[in-house]
Each structure stands twice: as C-alpha cells, then as structure tokens.
Structure 1
Amino acid sequence: MSLDTPLPVTRTERLSAHEALQRLEHERNSRLTQLLALDEAGTDAESEVEEHLMSAQKGTIRRVLAEVEDAFTRVRDGSYGDCLDCAKPIPVERLEILPYTRFCVPCRRDTV
C-alpha cells in the first residue's frame, strides 16, 4: 500500500436528529413519488402479469413507507440509530444508505 493512499475513514459519530429527519423525509418523498408513478402506470397495464408486478411493487413500497414512519417514531423517542437486537449504535454509513434500518449488519444477517 502506498503512503499516498488514504486510509478509509469510519464515521463513529451518530446522525443528529435533524440529519435523520432530513434523510427520512427524503426517503418518504421518494417512495411516495414511486407509488404515485405506479398508480399512474397501473391504468396502462396491458396484462394480468403487469398488474400483478405493479401490485407487488406497491406492496414493497408501502412496507418501506411503514418502516420509514417507524423510524420517525424512533427519532422522536431517542432510540433512532440503535440496533433493536444488540442495542449497539448502527454505523452512520449504514444509516446514510438505509435511514429507516432497525438493525446493524451483523444482526440483520442473523435475522434473515
């Protein structure tokens, strides 16, 4: 490894409540936009298979929206960012990617 190569930086701090709320709001808005687009496309479905696929996609989006709403609750009660299984802080990098996640990676792996 070259001396010029920077070492990876791991953020150990937590997201602030403001940052978490911003990320969750963005996630909510993105999912609502997807849902609206699927609703509009649903009128153009040409087959039963297309209708079934859109219905499955809508179900997935609604489940994610429910997880986002649960994350808003965790921000309000102060438990946001803590793994619901091991109670350790979830790494900021994971929360930046999945702001509504409830588990750290090792615990998530164990639940699947």
Structure 2
Amino acid sequence: MTTVARSPNMTVHEARQRLGHERSSRLTQLRAIEDGAAVADKELMTAQTAAIRRVLTEIGAAEDRVADGSYGTCLDCDGRIPVERLEILPYVRYCVSCQQRAT
C-alpha cells in the first residue's frame, strides 16, 4: 500500500478517489448551472461558474501533486497537511496556519 507523501494515513488510491469525487461533483454543479442559464441571473451564474472552474483547476493541480509525490505537503512551509484537512478539502495546497496567513 503506497501512502501519500507525508500523509501516512491516506493512500495514493484514496487521494485519487477523493479528488475524482470532487471533480465529478464540481462538473455536476457546472452542468446544472449551465442548464439553468436561460432563467438564471447571468451575473450570479458567471460568478458560480468561475468559482467551480477555479476548484477544478485546484483539483488538477492536486492530481499533479499526487503524481509527483508532493501531495499532502504544504506549499508554503513544507510541513505535513493533516489527513483530516485533506479528507475535507482533498485539493488543498496549504496547512491551516499558512492558509490563514495568506488570507
């Protein structure tokens, strides 16, 4: 069983499954927004679509980190991102401390 770099409680397979589920959920949301485009507020639809596309980009970047072995490592402090955080946001780039400093 191969574990994700610096995240000993999550396997590469589990990380890929979580990312795949996130991607599927976001694509479903995107389709729902686009299907309702005729009746929706265009400004709201544009904002929602942009937000979903940003998350899809983050998911792609997380998949790249899984492939190169850096998944689960904070891109700022190089520390381990807790598995619990990755379970909630599998595409997250930063630990909580670094994320809070950035915002």
What TM-score results when the alignment is normalised by the length of structure 2?
0.91
> Which amino acid in structure 2 is aligned with residue 21 of structure 1?
R
Q: In the aligned structure 1, how far is the partner of 2:76 from the partner of 2:98?
A: 6
SS at match of 1:110: helix
Equivalent position of 2:30 in the other structure: 35
Q: For residues 59 and 78 of structure 1, what CA distance do their matches in structure 2 show?
A: 29
Matched, 1:59 2:54: no
Q: Does 1:104 align with 2:95?
A: yes
CA RMSD of aligned residues (A): 1.0
| Cα distance per residue 1:79-104 (max 9 Å; x no partner) | 00000011111000000000000000
**Greater strand content:** 2
SS in 2 for 1:13: strand
Identity of aligned residues (%): 56
Q: Which amino acid aligns with 1:37?
A: A
Match of 1:83?
A: 74
Determine the C-alpha separation between the residues in 1 that align with 2:69 and 2:10. Answer: 12
Q: Name structure 2 gaps, 5 residues minimum.
A: 1-6
Query: Does the CA contact (< 8 Å) of 1:24 and 1:99 recur in 2?
Result: yes
Question: What residue in structure 2 maps to residue 7 of structure 1?
Answer: none
Count the aligned residue pairs.
Answer: 97
Q: CA deviation at 1:43?
A: 1.7
Deviation digits for residues 46-79 of structure 1, max 9, x if unmatched? xxxx110011000000000000000000000000
Structure 1: gaps spanning 5 or more residues: 1-11
Provide runs of 4+ in structure 1 moved above 4 Å.
Answer: none
